Amino acid sequence: RPATFRVDVSALLAKLGEKKESLKFMKRRIQRLGPQWAAAARHLDRQLGDQGREQKRILVHMGFLAISSGDGFSSMVLKGGPLGEMVQWADILTALYILGHRVQVSVTIRHLQRILGKPYARRSCPASGFLPFDLIYTDYHGLDQIEEYRGISLRTHKCRIRVIDTFGTEPAYNNKEYAFKHGYRSSWGHRKLDSKQYMTMFPHTPDNSFMGFVVDELNETEKLDISRNKINNMTVVYGKEISMWERKEHFFKVLHRHMEIHGTVYSTDHPYVVPAFVHNHGLLSQKDLQQLLKKAKLFIGFGFPYEGPAPLEAVANGCIFLQPKFHPPHSSLNHIFFHGKPTSRELTSQHPYMEKHIGRPHVMTVNFSNLQEFEETIQEIMRTKVEPYLPFEYTCEGMLERVHAYIQHQDFCAPIDPFPLATIPSPFILLSNSERFTWDPDVKAPPSWPPLRSLQALISQPGHSCITACEGIGMVCEPTFFRFINNKQAFDTLKVPCKVLEGEVNHIFPAVKRQLLCSVQKDPRLFSCAGLSAGYQRLCPCRDARHGQVALCQDCL
């Protein structure tokens, strides 16, 4: 059955009950952004032309709202608790619905069982047989709940699962035995999924799929209004929870010398934490927060929360985002918040996406421990004029395009043909700079998404990851391509004089040490863009990317 775009979200709203604060928040968001989603759907529909799309039956089970410990998220919605997750789930639901799929939603164990059948109802929904969904979007909590309360193993159906995983899961954490043996312990991970089945909030590592969320897009009149009404000395502090304001007095003092400070912190009875000169608006609705940001010149973060949606919203409304640089970087090795998370990613600032993908003049990342540098940056910001800026990948159309592409092209159920380790003649052709190769257009390429014509492979600098190596040539690491270059011919094409060629189970392979010891990967689940090790040069598969849409290659739609 073909999927047809929808432009009216009211039937989706009816699927979400009224019981939980979290759901009410999501409904308000879906309703508010409805017209923008509809416009994006019309545009994408025209762009895709008569490309057929198949309608999928999709279960969306938000496990974090169903946790037995009392749904901590919902109770904190009105008290400054995390809203980033709710923002993302609301947008995922809308994208799936607008794309025309059959979406069922569950936020309680009871409902999940009603949809999937209780453990004893094996005949209607046997463990290894029929599952009435093509795809299940859930989170780590949801995975446990589906296994535990339905009493089935997900093994048979795991290729249909998509895990919404805010901070990401790197391949080294995906397999319990491997992770424990090599010191990649975590509280999560260990699911042995394809790493692309994990879907993140920002494009943290290309090992995972970047799902994202959306930010209100402004029309030309709104942009004009912003440039007329900006108040050059108005700051909004990033932090809706009181702990995010603690021990910041010295910064507020400096800031207050130049600017009027506004906050949207939930609590009002902490006069020593929120100074009297701060205009605290209390927690605002998303709509009202956007209005405040439209007037403000500066949105300032003090280190926490990490990687939330609000800085993108601020920059989209014409603010400059100022944030602290982290030296040394924060990660699961040295920071309690990331401890136990299945990633070794290092955050060089509060929001590395803002720092690296957007940067100056919209985003300023400075050393906050130097108060003079801090003050000079405030003065520089007051002199700098910026226009509202929103990367395409965070618009409704950007998200629709991406989710559409994933649904149509990502297939983790199809058996993967082992690519022959040595095909003669070699399918690779050196590019003119002779440090990279691509797939020879005269050799028939095996089916692949992204298509192999976007491949460019190279050898990294010693100790660098493939993420860094590909970024160095303006490209993106593409883990799907590892299986095609995990062979001797790839090393030969790049003239690496391998004295030894071994097959090993290690997430940094394929790689070479001292130009002589070449190793290929024996476990395809461990192909990793993020992996690195001192002394090793990675063999890296890179690809191009669509403008403003890092998740998709140019020919990926």
Q: Which chain residues interact with ligand U2F by CB under 6 A?
A: 82-85, 87, 166, 201, 240, 264, 283-284, 286, 289, 305-310, 313
Tokens describing residue 479 = 């883990």
Residue holding tokens 């003090």?
A: 302
Tokens describing residue 34 = 């409805």
Cβ neighbour number for residue 291 with a 10 Å cutoff: 11
User: For helices 140-150 and 109-116, what crossing angle results, to 10°?
Assistant: 60
Q: Which is nearer to ligand U2F, 66 or 283 (CB)?
A: 283
Q: Which is nearer to ligand U2F, 165 or 544 (CB)?
A: 165
Minimum distance, C-beta of residue 309 to ligand U2F, in the bound complex (Å): 4
CA distances from 167 to 39, 261, 533 (A): 30, 30, 22
Minimum distance, C-beta of residue 82 to ligand U2F, in the bound complex (Å): 4
Q: Which is nearer to ligand U2F, 132 or 282 (CB)?
A: 282
Minimum distance, C-beta of residue 154 to ligand U2F, in the bound complex (Å): 24
Q: What is the rounded distance in angstroms from the CA atom of residue 403 to the CA atom of residue 93?
A: 11
Q: Which is nearer to ligand U2F, 299 or 437 (CB)?
A: 299
Greatest extent of the chain over all pairs of C-alpha atoms, in Å: 75
Q: What is the rounded distance in angstroms from the CA atom of residue 70 to the CA atom of residue 55?
A: 35
Minimum distance, C-beta of residue 83 to ligand U2F, in the bound complex (Å): 4
Say if CB 146 and CB 154 are below 8 A apart. Answer: yes
Tokens describing residue 320 = 């400059």
Minimum distance, C-beta of residue 79 to ligand U2F, in the bound complex (Å): 11
User: Which residues are registered as beta bridge partners of 279?
Assistant: 262
Q: How buried is 256 (Cβ within 10 angstroms: 0-12 exposed, 13-18 middle, 19+ buried)?
A: middle
Query: Helix (H, G, I), strand (E, B), or coil: what is residue 51?
Result: coil
Minimum distance, C-beta of residue 323 to ligand U2F, in the bound complex (Å): 12
Say if CB 357 and CB 349 are below 8 A apart. Answer: no
Cβ neighbour number for residue 50 with a 10 Å cutoff: 4
Supply the Cα-derived Rg of the chain in whole angstroms. Answer: 24
Q: What is the rounded distance in angstroms from the CA atom of residue 315 to the CA atom of residue 388?
A: 6
Minimum distance, C-beta of residue 273 to ligand U2F, in the bound complex (Å): 17
- Residue type at position 29: R
Q: Is the peptide bond before 361 cis (omega within 30 degrees of 0)?
A: yes
Nearest to 487 by CA among 447, 524, 461, 453: 524
Minimum distance, C-beta of residue 292 to ligand U2F, in the bound complex (Å): 8
Minimum distance, C-beta of residue 81 to ligand U2F, in the bound complex (Å): 7
Q: Which is nearer to ligand U2F, 388 or 510 (CB)?
A: 388
Tokens describing residue 280 = 């605290």
Q: Which is nearer to ligand U2F, 309 or 479 (CB)?
A: 309
Q: What is the rounded distance in angstroms from the CA atom of residue 266 to the CA atom of residue 275?
A: 14
Q: Which is nearer to ligand U2F, 56 or 162 (CB)?
A: 162
Tokens describing residue 150 = 């339905």
Minimum distance, C-beta of residue 267 to ligand U2F, in the bound complex (Å): 12
Q: Which is nearer to ligand U2F, 64 or 428 (CB)?
A: 64
- Residue type at position 285: S
Q: Which is nearer to ligand U2F, 284 or 443 (CB)?
A: 284
Tokens describing residue 281 = 């608006």
Q: Which is nearer to ligand U2F, 82 or 472 (CB)?
A: 82
Q: Which is nearer to ligand U2F, 82 or 446 (CB)?
A: 82
Q: What is the rounded distance in angstroms from the CA atom of residue 551 to the CA atom of residue 210?
A: 6
Q: Which is nearer to ligand U2F, 140 or 484 (CB)?
A: 140
Q: Which is nearer to ligand U2F, 83 or 234 (CB)?
A: 83
How many distinct helices (H) and strands (E) make up the chain?
18, 21
Minimum distance, C-beta of residue 447 to ligand U2F, in the bound complex (Å): 36
Say if CB 189 and CB 381 are below 8 A apart. Answer: no
Minimum distance, C-beta of residue 400 to ligand U2F, in the bound complex (Å): 19
Tokens describing residue 105 = 């939603």
Residue least distant from ligand U2F (Cβ): 84
Minimum distance, C-beta of residue 170 to ligand U2F, in the bound complex (Å): 17
Say if CB 241 and CB 268 are below 8 A apart. Answer: no
Q: What is the rounded distance in angstroms from the CA atom of residue 218 to the CA atom of residue 224?
A: 10
Minimum distance, C-beta of residue 230 to ligand U2F, in the bound complex (Å): 19
Q: Which is nearer to ligand U2F, 283 or 455 (CB)?
A: 283
Residue holding tokens 């279960």?
A: 59
- Residue type at position 312: L
Q: How many residues does the chain have?
A: 557
